Structure 1
């Protein structure tokens, strides 16, 4: 089976998949992302990655469907996408000089068999001390208002960091490609 579908409207996830050189389609899943009572951030991202893949299974019946979800935690609390300049500035001020934790979950669903593979990837980012002038220059240049944490690690956002820790830096962008490649090989795809 080589029919891949990315269950996401994210241009960042699409760009990551394109790096694999495999043909794929993408579609936005209709999934309620509201956390459940007592659900940990990891449980939330695992559930949503699976739900996103399953949401497209009726439409793509003989495909490998990729679902992914990510949460950023600062002081144990989820941080969402900022949406605007002022919120992004506040997020970066809060992250300055601190460590933040990402959890990115990934699901690969074989819609023909109903079988799926599911994993969660932790990733830690240590921010350097950021002054207001640096924050403003960064935000004016990249405008990362649709990115949790208000940065684009694949761009100039890397200049905001002191250190990164995790198995796959792509998980920071929203899709752990190393794990995805393992899952695809498990389904019989030859990579590279």
Structure 2
């Protein structure tokens, strides 16, 4: 169950025009392009009065995108398991920081609070979140758009493998088409917002 560790009075003052769940690394990566892309995404969301939903961490690209969103005037909803709060990984200046019991609760609440999903560069945690949101879309649990920001060709090998999965008959083209892929934050974010649904459009409690 979600326990708000911190929620500002301004959080309920107005409803943001859109809400995007961003999955990304708790590390920054080697190339400066990854940090630059995360900062661009956060600034884009914040400067348009939007809402970032993310994993509540303060390190790596997670911290970068959250800081950039707040600095540009947006709101940030962080969702983090108690175990990671205890390890002091939580970003405590989020507009709202929700502490939950498990990783599954974390991902479900993030999905419920967002109208679209975007994966930046990251490791196995980011990949697991991306594939889960993608799978839920395929199965009809939600109709929210899913995007991949392919910075510096990071996702190229993975996408090539997935296309080989189509060629081998384990996926269909329509499943690949459920995800928008782009290398420029502005165009990709515009497309996701245009297709986004209200955060409460689907009840994910059944997952």
- Tell me which interval the TM-score lies in, with the shorter structure as reference length: under 0.3
TM-score (normalised: structure 1) = 0.27
Whichever structure has more helix as a proportion of its residues is 2
Whichever structure has more strand as a proportion of its residues is 1
